[in-house]
């Protein structure tokens, strides 16, 4: 069990129906303080109402810190820009899982362990073949990752720390293999086995783009770009899919089932599906001269259209991941000689216009990570249907680190929100013959 580092730093008071209630105010190491309402219902018979958890801290965590107003994102205290520039995805995985950057020997051991868990049970290939060929790769991912608990029974006992550790390694290591298999199945090509002599991201690119007739030569610039994309997506504190993983895990569900739940949540267009939606939007806009029409639609209250890749629940400033993403987008397009790409032109111009538009300024709507990731992933050769799969691959380590932290939390309880009920009050059952 982990020790709580939360400190009580003051008191808030609530006056309700003529009675005063004192509520402790808690502080972490950075970020806003929180009013502790755990005893409020017992003492005052009142709930708090916060749909979408906009003002609710659901847990104590020491993994990732975000200051949305300042545009800050840190993994275990390290700024995301530093990790994107200097770290590798696997090193960032080690950091997220263990809390510290690895020494050289720790890193070598970690790389060895992960690379020696990349193969999947051969029977899993048969499982894939049960899906329709035209199935969305995210539908396949949800199914296959959920099924892992049926293949790896020896790492589903969450009370055993060693089994938890092995399940974590298995998920991080097998995710690229499963994602590449989902891609290969989608495009009708044979599965490609992993190779242990390649790095994590290089191996993934090869499993996606190699065919028996021709091996794939990994381009270092492209591999670095994808590795950086993975770092940028690795964790994002208590976002919807991570909270889903924690909620699923709070009931004691096995790690494979929890990660499958996270993948299902990630799929939605307001979350991980936004990179696919952002690219489709840029394609739909097509040319720079059509941008004003789309900006006008985004501002129209009677039109459901939104600028995909803009806005964020937490960032009310430039998404710090979007900056690193933009650098990689340019590096990939330069390397591939695609700097005149019409989509990039639309993206750059759209960003410029939106950043100077009163509506977007007033609502603090800035480009988020998905704005540039779609263009980059397309240039790397991935179809749009794979974008969210790549996000899921990268986010797996964050989900696992958060799931592990939840299980070690001394205050851990099954997640069980309450509600403000507005349905009918008690009424009498009438037999069907008496109903009008
Ligand atoms: N285009 C136009 N207007 C927008 C947009 C947008 N992309 N995003 C928010 N708004 C407006 C919205 O209409 C609302 O206006 P009003 O106050 O007049 O009703 C206001 O801004 C606040 O929006 P909200 O929906 O209440 O904000 P939220 O925090 O609930 O939503 C969001 C955040 C990300 C779902 C939303 O900004 C959005 O739908 N963006 C487009 C989808 C997208 O890019 N998602 C990726 C998020 S980053 C990846 C990840 O971490 O998962």
pLDDT digits (tens), the chain, 436 positions: 778 899 999 999 999 999 999 999 999 999 999 999 999 999 999 999 999 999 999 999 999 999 999 999 999 999 999 999 999 999 999 999 999 999 999 999 999 999 999 999 999 999 999 999 999 999 999 999 999 999 998 888 999 999 999 999 999 999 999 999 999 999 999 999 999 999 999 999 999 999 999 999 999 999 999 999 999 999 999 999 999 999 999 999 999 999 999 999 999 988 888 888 888 999 999 999 999 999 999 999 999 999 998 998 888 888 899 989 989 988 999 999 987 888 888 988 998 888 899 999 999 898 888 888 888 999 999 998 999 999 999 999 999 999 999 999 988 899 999 999 999 999 999 999 999 9
Among this protein's residues, is 339 annotated catalytic?
Answer: no
Largest Cα span, the chain: 79
* CA-to-CA separations, 282 to 40, 278, 290, 327, 350, in angstroms, rounded: 48, 6, 10, 19, 9
Taking the model in full, what pTM does it have? 0.91
Catalytic: which of 227, 312, 319, 357? 312
Rounded-to-integer distance, Cα 41 and Cα 35, Å = 14
Rounded-to-integer distance, Cα 288 and Cα 346, Å = 5
Ligand 1 pocket residues where CB is under 6 Å? 236, 239, 270-272, 274, 298, 306-313, 363, 365, 368-370
141: CA distance to ligand 1 center in Å? Answer: 26
Protein residue with least CA distance to atom 2, ligand 1: 306
pLDDT, residue 72, reads 95
State how far Cα 370 lies from the chain centre. Answer: 11
Rounded-to-integer distance, Cα 361 and Cα 353, Å = 11
Residue linked to tokens 């298999």: 181
Which two tokens mark 140?
Answer: 């396949």
313: CA distance to ligand 1 center in Å? Answer: 7
Nearest CA to 167 out of 99, 295, 257 is that of 257
Ligand 1 atom at minimal distance to the Cα of residue 369: 48
pLDDT, residue 247, reads 97
Rounded-to-integer distance, Cα 381 and Cα 385, Å = 12
* DSSP at 386: G
pLDDT, residue 323, reads 87
For residues 97 and 397, the answer to whether their CB atoms sit within 8 Å is: yes
Ligand 1 atom at minimal distance to the Cα of residue 314: 29
For residues 234 and 398, the answer to whether their CB atoms sit within 8 Å is: yes
Rounded-to-integer distance, Cα 321 and Cα 317, Å = 11
307: CA distance to ligand 1 center in Å? Answer: 8
311: CA distance to ligand 1 center in Å? Answer: 5
Rounded-to-integer distance, Cα 317 and Cα 67, Å = 9
Protein residue with least CA distance to atom 3, ligand 1: 306
For residues 351 and 326, the answer to whether their CB atoms sit within 8 Å is: no
Which two tokens mark 392?
Answer: 């899921």
Helix axes 370-380, 220-233, angle to 10 degrees: 150
308: CA distance to ligand 1 center in Å? Answer: 8
**Residue 185 three-state SS:** helix
Ligand 1 atom at minimal distance to the Cα of residue 236: 51
Which long-range CB contacts under 8 A does 332-341 form with residues at least 24 apart?
332/221, 332/222, 332/225, 332/376, 332/379, 332/380, 333/375, 333/376, 333/379, 335/219, 335/221, 335/222, 336/222, 336/379, 338/379, 341/375, 341/379
Nearest CA to 242 out of 219, 258, 224, 253 is that of 258
* Dihedral pair phi/psi, residue 385, rounded to 5°: -65, -15
Among this protein's residues, is 356 annotated catalytic?
Answer: no
Protein residue with least CA distance to atom 17, ligand 1: 363
Ligand 1 atom at minimal distance to the Cα of residue 310: 7
Ligand 1 atom at minimal distance to the Cα of residue 363: 21
345: CA distance to ligand 1 center in Å? Answer: 23
* DSSP at 157: -
pLDDT, residue 406, reads 96
Rounded-to-integer distance, Cα 243 and Cα 249, Å = 10
Q: Exposure pattern of 171-202 as b/e (b: 16+ CB <10 Å)? A: bbbbbbbbbbbbbbbbeeeeebebeeebbbbb
Q: Going by C-beta distance under 8 Å and a sequence separation of 6 or more, which residues neighbour residue 381?
A: 208, 209
Query: Which one of 244, 311, 394 would you pick to mutate in the ligand 1 pocket, going by the greatest count of ligand atoms within 8 A of its CB?
Result: 311
pLDDT, residue 78, reads 98
Rounded-to-integer distance, Cα 411 and Cα 34, Å = 16
Protein residue with least CA distance to atom 20, ligand 1: 363
For residues 40 and 46, the answer to whether their CB atoms sit within 8 Å is: yes
Bridge partners, 8 (sequence order): 26
């Amino acid at each position: 069990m982990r020790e709580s580092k939360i400190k009580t730093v003051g008191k808030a008071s609530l006056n309700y129906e003529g009675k005063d209630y004192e509520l402790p105010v808690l502080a972490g190491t950075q970020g806003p303080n929180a009013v502790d309402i755990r005893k409020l219902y017992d003492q005052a018979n009142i709930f708090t109402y916060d749909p979408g958890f906009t003002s609710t801290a659901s847990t104590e965590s020491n993994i990732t810190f975000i200051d949305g107003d300042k545009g800050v994102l840190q993994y275990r205290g390290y700024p995301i820009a530093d990790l994107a520039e200097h770290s590798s995805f696997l090193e960032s995985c080690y950091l997220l899982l263990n809390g510290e950057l690895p020494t050289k020997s720790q890193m070598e051991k970690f790389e060895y362990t992960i690379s020696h868990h990349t193969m999947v049970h051969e029977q899993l290939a048969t499982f894939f073949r049960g899906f329709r060929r035209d199935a969305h790769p995210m539908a396949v991912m949800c199914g296959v990752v959920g099924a892992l608990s049926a293949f790896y029974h020896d790492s589903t006992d969450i009370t055993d720390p060693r089994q938890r550790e092995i399940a974590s390694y298995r998920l991080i290591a097998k995710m690229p293999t499963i994602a590449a298999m989902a891609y290969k199945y989608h495009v009708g090509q044979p599965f490609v086995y992993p190779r242990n002599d390649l790095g994590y991201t290089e191996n993934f690119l090869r499993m996606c783009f190699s065919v028996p007739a021709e091996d794939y030569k990994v381009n270092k610039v492209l591999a670095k770009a994808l590795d950086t994309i993975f770092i940028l997506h690795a964790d994002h504190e208590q976002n919807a899919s991570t909270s889903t993983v924690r909620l699923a895990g709070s009931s004691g569900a096995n790690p494979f089932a929890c990660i499958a739940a996270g993948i299902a949540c990630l799929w939605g267009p307001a979350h991980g599906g936004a990179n696919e939606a952002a690219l489709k939007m840029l394609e739909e806009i097509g040319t720079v001269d059509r941008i004003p029409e789309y900006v006008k639609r985004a501002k129209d209250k009677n039109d459901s259209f939104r600028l995909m890749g803009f806005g964020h629940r937490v960032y009310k400033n430039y998404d710090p991941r979007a900056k690193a993403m933009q650098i990689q987008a340019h590096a990939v397009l330069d390397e591939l000689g695609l700097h005149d790409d019409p989509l990039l032109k639309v993206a750059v111009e759209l960003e410029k216009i939106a950043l100077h538009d009163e509506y977007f300024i007033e609502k603090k709507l800035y480009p988020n990570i998905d704005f540039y990731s779609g263009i980059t992933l397309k240039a790397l050769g991935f179809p749009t249907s794979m974008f969210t799969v790549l996000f899921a691959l990268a986010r797996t380590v964050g989900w696992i680190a958060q799931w592990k932290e939840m299980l070690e939390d001394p205050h851990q309880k099954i997640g069980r929100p309450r509600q403000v009920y507005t349905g009918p009050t008690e009424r009498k059952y009438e037999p069907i013959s008496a109903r009008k």
